[in-house]
Amino acid sequence: MVPVRILLAGATGAIGRPLTTALTNAGHEVLTLSRTAGDIRADALDREALLRALRGRTADAVIHQLTALKQARRTVDANDPSTVLRIKGTANLIEAAQLLGAQRFLVQSLVLGYGYLDHGDRPLTETDPFGVKTGGPADPVVDGLVSAERQAFAVDGIALRYGVFFGPGTWFSRGRFPVPLRGGVVPWVHVRDAAAATVLALERGAAREAYNICMENPATWREMAGRHGLPLPGRLLRAAVPYLGAAMIDTSMRVSNAKARNELGWEPVAGASSPPR
């Protein structure tokens, strides 16, 4: 693919930073967007302000990496900041892409969107149902992920279903956090590997497709948290943050990354040699 100009929304975040580097190293030009730093400073939830900030600019692609997980609340509802960014933020960024003349749109999604439940030992693929709800505390997150993907597909975009992030700038580098003593396994991805996959998806990904971007060997949160975890009995964790109970205890999943390997030529390498920190 010839070098392109990309508007990267969320460029200062855990994935945004290594992605800016990876895109630049691949020869692309990056216009960074966030509220506090970068080429374009705007609140993506303020449609008018966003479009005003972009007036007169052009780009070939828009990559949506906006989340607000640092502001996580005890209970997650439809007003949860990350859910709003996935629903309204995606709509605003798609309008922004149209204003910029961008032909490609990539959105951050999450493997947990397959459903916060025990999926057994069979590795899930992109053809498995996505957005399965359980009636539990994670349902609004699932709604947000499904909305972001559907909106992206409607404009021939691509969804990147990342595993749970680890590496610099992630939860693991931010001090101790609660993990259950016992819980299910989930797929993980180092942020540098996630960034590399995103560049490949930009360059080679097919319209209206989702790609699982994770390591194939899953692990429990406690195993991954290592010395940064604060192990708690499940009932205490659930009482403190019901969403974490759903994500860390109720959910167990293996996820295949064969599509990303075969169709994008992606190989997770940073995660293989780097423990969570």
Residues β-bridged to residue 166:
190
Q: How many CB atoms lie within 10 A of CB 127?
A: 9
Amino acid code (one letter) for 118: D
Contacts of 230 by beta carbon, 8 Å cutoff, 6+ apart:
176, 177, 178, 179
Smallest distance, Å, CB 35 to ligand NAP? 3
Between 156 and 272, name the residue whose CB sits nearer to ligand NAP. Answer: 272
Smallest distance, Å, CB 21 to ligand NAP? 14
Smallest distance, Å, CB 215 to ligand NAP? 12
* Residues 161, 113: Cα–Cα separation, whole Å: 8
Between 6 and 11, name the residue whose CB sits nearer to ligand NAP. Answer: 11
Identify the helix (H) or strand (E) that includes residue 7: strand 5-9
Smallest distance, Å, CB 34 to ligand NAP? 3
Smallest distance, Å, CB 2 to ligand NAP? 27
Between 1 and 222, name the residue whose CB sits nearer to ligand NAP. Answer: 222
Between 97 and 110, name the residue whose CB sits nearer to ligand NAP. Answer: 110
Between 26 and 69, name the residue whose CB sits nearer to ligand NAP. Answer: 69
* Residues 39, 118: Cα–Cα separation, whole Å: 43
* Footprint of ligand NAP (CB under 6 A): 10-14, 16, 34-37, 43-45, 66-70, 85, 110, 162, 164-165, 169-171
* Residues 19, 169: Cα–Cα separation, whole Å: 12
Residue nearest to ligand NAP (CB): 13
Residue 233: C-alpha distances to residues 117, 177, 248, 262 (Å) = 19, 13, 12, 40
